[in-house]
Amino acid sequence: MKEIVQDGDPVLRGDAQEVPADLFNTPKLSKMLEDMKASLDNAKHGVALAAPQIAIPYRIFIVRYDRMLPGETEEEVEEKIADIGIFINPEIIKTSRKRSPVPEGCLSVDGVYGETERFDRATVKAQDAEGNWFTRGGGGILAQAFQHEIDHLNGVLFIDHAENLQKHES
């Protein structure tokens, strides 16, 4: 498992590179995805992770759909089998007009929380691990995760545009 890098590491501020076609269906890409999954699994309060957060400078993020269900206790979430979505070379192709302030944190800015303005709904076009293109839309926390993780791929952290930042001790 790779450590999640923290704010101040230059990899978090760079533009991630597109995953080239010849990297699909290779052991190298499989290893990157496994490292991402292991790091996210270990971060019990994390719902998504971008590759740069574990020092992989590629345009990849993963989400744990099973951790996005409302009202579940930490124990209930831990008992679930990981339901992971893989998004490679993602781009947001559609958003709602409506935006709302939402509470937000980040595994790479550990212990800091704030409020960000996010689109209520977002649709992403991306590739899966085999290189096939797909689109996936979502609202609520999934739309927020899409926007947050794509920000990471563009070198942007939520603290760059969040309000009411507060530090909480872990």
Q: What SS3 string covers 94-156? A: EECCCEEEEEEECCCCCCEEEEEEEECEEEEEEECCCCCEEEEEEEHHHHHHHHHHHHHHCCC
109, 7 contact by CB (below 8 A): yes
Sheet of strand 163-167, all strands in order from the earlier edge strand to the far edge: 99-105, 112-119, 163-167
149 is catalytic: yes
Dihedral, CA of residue 107, residue 108, residue 113 and residue 119, to nearest 10:
-80
Of residues 78, 91, 104, 149, which has the active-site annotation?
Answer: 149
Active-site residues: which are they? 149
